[in-house]
Structure 1
């Protein structure tokens, strides 16, 4: 091959090389979202790294009642007697206001695992009713219906008077206070996460504190000619239920554009410490005396003080919310919440109207120790609507 041929081949190779270098570089293909071990997508829009909820609660609680008659117009075994308080009539049915605060965070970069803590409260609410009698002719008799113990056994119906026409006027006030709060701390694990759906399971610890107080106060004022006489009875039954337990649950969320629906179901099981505190006093005054005695009528030395016990309880809860994303980091929602616990003590159930009269006015107990603390327990629910705001990062 001569020199001209070699030069032609070299020019051809250089031209081909220049054409190759002038081509556009190969585009870099983005890797698709990596499925997690459960088949979902890890990095989806509904998988925040950090979230904070604040909610307003408008809830109703299960109404309290006093199963036994506690105020009447006479002896219960006398025809025509009316029961004015107690006897199973429900009480305190008003709305409770409160709040709930939740904070959570993902524990890994892919959002598989997380942790979340929550606290809620229902503000203290007091409901009361008052019954009066003027003591004038034709007015009602008012009194505490009691079953007096007999030395030979059995009981006899009687009445501890509050108002008696022509002798003294009187009034009785019954008040009920309810307050509830609780918290939980849960670990979260994602089962499935896609751009439009997320399913998590949760497990952790749960706490609930339900405190209630029933107060019954009566005041009697003598009418002429015994107008200088007066008397008062104060009785207080307070209960506290503290639940500690472990819980398991699951939650889901489905999104469509800016809108979403989510729900949570969980069940806790554990121990509830039930405590009953009983306090009472009776005061009598006249021109020459002013005496106060431990115990009123349904409260006597035989049941005064605190008694407590531990028992097992279940506590399920469900919630369902619907809301809208205002922007990438802020969303609003409204929903419904239902909570139930299987075993609690409530103050109205702890009143024993059987009375050993030997304890009255500071006397020494002789015979059967009544009234007692029956420790009757029951279930309890709270339910209502929520309005919330969530901030996500």
Structure 2
């Protein structure tokens, strides 16, 4: 059946202009200020993305011309937060919203052909229009005073002309008709039409080549919902449907995260040189207390970066390929201690495996002087790639799809936003629910190294002999597995909100490398190096490797604000957890057989017990923190 876009004068007189809604809030004021810095003021230089997002369809190419003409009409959805007047093309498609000014009464020009002198995008001021001169009494109602959009379609009566035929309906005072085609240079440039509205005032997408003025029920758009969200012949609102999502997006972020620190056993102690009264009298290390170790290290803020990029493979935002990389630069920590043999008294603690008692290897003690240095480091990084598939796109209170893919619990529509503050907030914007499945890789590399530099002094014998003792514990965890998750996002004007939850399941390859050595240099002799330090001996030195099942979940939320039509400022929070990893401090065995130490005097005859020894000790790792960055969309 035919659609009628104009009504009789008697109907126009009976209708009243809807109450105007004040939309000049802080968001709009801040946005206009920011746009003045980022956007070019040159005519035709602005992107049309905001128009398409706001109106739910492809904008006309006429919007990029310095001057063009259209017909002035009232906004059929006065409560949608947009200005009360619109400019429409010859098919009734909305091209721009118009904000009135105190000095211009736009009601007098409803239905008239208007020239846009300077096109600045989504919303124009009345002062930006070139209004025709009216030779009629003030207050007279023009024939197009209630020009109807597709949102107010009515069946055509026999013989009644339509706007598509190039003439307005019979009225008391005839309106200036919109020529078809409009002569150059004021013409609308041929291109894609504006959005079409159904009887409820909802934008709809039409198959390419269809003429919405001559559609019957079998060939026209299905206005009762759809089973395939985003289809060209389905109902859609705002940011759903053809061209509703950017083709390509790239986001770069700075990360300030806190990560699970490394637990280490006691590594350095201080105390006193105490005389043992038992015969034979001797000085021993007494009153020991830990100055480094038995604590968590590397638990401060870590700086890093993250890059995300995605590409939609279709025009309806249904399937995309998305990739991500994030990581931190290496974080490290160093501890130093030592003395001249008299003060302070410093040593390295261990448990004597032959007696089970606490013992100390001297670093600064009568007869020896030296220093001990402990270095630790950690590095974490992760990457993923996969497919992102849209389950639902919804705007306002309308849900497209079935309760499984777009219900109250998944899609964020229906009962999920049917009442309360959620309905007030998220009912105004466009919501997407996507499923993600792909691959995830992650790596955690950490190290712990202890080095002693010692020199024998009086009253000991072998004065001048030096020792360099090294222990090193390094680990490498590498996760490879599949990942599945959900991504929910919401857009309203300049604001956006994204929440994601992902779960990676796969294998973690755990690698542990333990090494140690002692170098002795006697006066006038060449250095002699033997395997083994203090906590790394021949009994535990080596490379160890195994695979363990791990999970790697990730949670995140990101808030965005558009600085320009393509550039968005983002800020968010992310939490990452990784099960079954190995950490350096956990691989240290504090029990040592003193008789197995290099250059031990006397050495242990049978080397038993063979301690320290190695066994895999695994733990968990987590990281969380804040992010700030920019996202650019095409």
Which TM-score band (shorter chain)? 0.7 to 0.9
Provide Cα deviations, 1:262-304, integer angstroms capped at 9, x if missing partner. Answer: 1111111111011111111112222143221111000011111
Question: Of residues 486, 496, 504 in structure 2, which corresponds to 1:268?
Answer: 504
Instruction: Decide whether aligned partners of structure 1 residues 250 and 46 sit closer, same or farther in structure 2, where only a CA change above 3 A counts.
Output: farther
Superposed CA RMSD in Å reads 2.7
Structure 2 equivalent of residue 83 of structure 1: 290
Structure 1 position 225, deviation (Å): 6.2
Look up the SS of the partner of 1:348 in the other structure.
helix
1:61 and 1:110 map into 2 onto residues whose CA distance is 39
Check if 1:148 corresponds to 2:352: yes
For the residues of structure 2 that align with 1:60 and 1:272, how far apart are their CA atoms?
Answer: 22
Q: Which residue of 2 aligns with 1:6?
A: none
Residues 16-74 of structure 1, C-alpha deviation per residue, up to 9 Å, x if partnerless? xxxx9x986448994813766355644277622111111111112111121x3222236
Partner of 2:591: 354
- Whether the aligned pair in 1 keeps the contact of 2:323 and 2:383 (CA below 8 Å) is yes
Structure 1 equivalent of residue 490 of structure 2: 254
More strand by proportion, 1 or 2?
A: 1
Pair 1:304–1:365, CA change in 2 (3 A): farther
- Look up the SS of the partner of 1:313 in the other structure: strand
> TM-score, length-normalised on structure 1?
0.85
Report the secondary structure of 2:586's partner residue: helix
Determine which structure has more spread, i.e. the larger CA radius of gyration.
Answer: 2
CA contact (8 A) 2:242 2:315 kept: no
Deviations 1:154-191 (Å, cap 9, x if unpaired)? 634322221113x1222211111111111001211111
Superposed counterparts of 1:97-176, under 5 Å:
97-136=303-342, 139-150=343-354, 155-165=356-366, 167-176=367-376
- Asked whether the 8 Å contact 1:74–1:159 carries over to 2, the reply is no
The change in CA–CA distance for 1:373 and 1:320 in structure 2 (over 3 A counts) is: same
Instruction: Tell me, in whole angstroms, the C-alpha distance in 1 between the residues paired with 2:314 and 2:242.
Output: 14
Distance 1:222-1:23 versus aligned 2 partners, 3 A rule: closer
- Give the equivalent residue in structure 2 for 1:58: 256
Contact 2:256 2:626 in 1 (8 A): yes
| Equivalence for 1:391 | 632
Alpha-carbon distance, 1:224 to partner: 4.6
Tell me the TM-score normalized by structure 2: 0.54
Aligned to 1:43: 241
* Alignment partners' CA distance in 1, 2:609 and 2:625: 45
Which range moved further: 221-230 or 48-57?
Answer: 221-230
2:285 touches 2:360 (CA, 8 Å); kept in 1? no
Out of 247, 267, 273, the position equivalent to 1:70 is 267
CA change 1:159–1:390 in 2 (3 A) is same
| Structure 2 portions without partners, runs of 5+ | 1-158, 167-192, 198-203, 207-224, 231-235, 273-283, 396-429
- On the 8 A contact 1:46/1:198 being kept in 2, the answer is no
Mapped to 2, the partners of 1:104 and 1:25 lie a distance apart of: 41
Give the corresponding residue for 2:456: 222
The C-alpha deviation readout for 1:73-117, integer Å capped at 9, x for no partner, is 369x98732122222x12123321111112211122221111101
Cα distance in 1 between the residues matched to 2:315 and 2:531: 65
Q: How big is each residue's C-alpha offset from its partner over 1:168-216, in whole Å with a ceiling of 9 and x where there is no partner?
A: 2222111111111110012111112245211111111111000001111
Residues 322-350 of structure 1, C-alpha deviations (whole Å, 9 max, x = no match): 12112222211011111111111000111
Shift, 1:358, TM fit? 4.1
Which stretch of structure 1 is more off in the superposition, 284-293 or 35-44?
35-44
Q: Distance in 1 between matches of 2:565 and 2:619?
A: 46
What is the aligned partner in structure 2 of residue 9 from structure 1? none
> Is 2:467 the partner of 1:277?
no
| Structure-2 separation of matches of 1:291 and 1:249 | 58
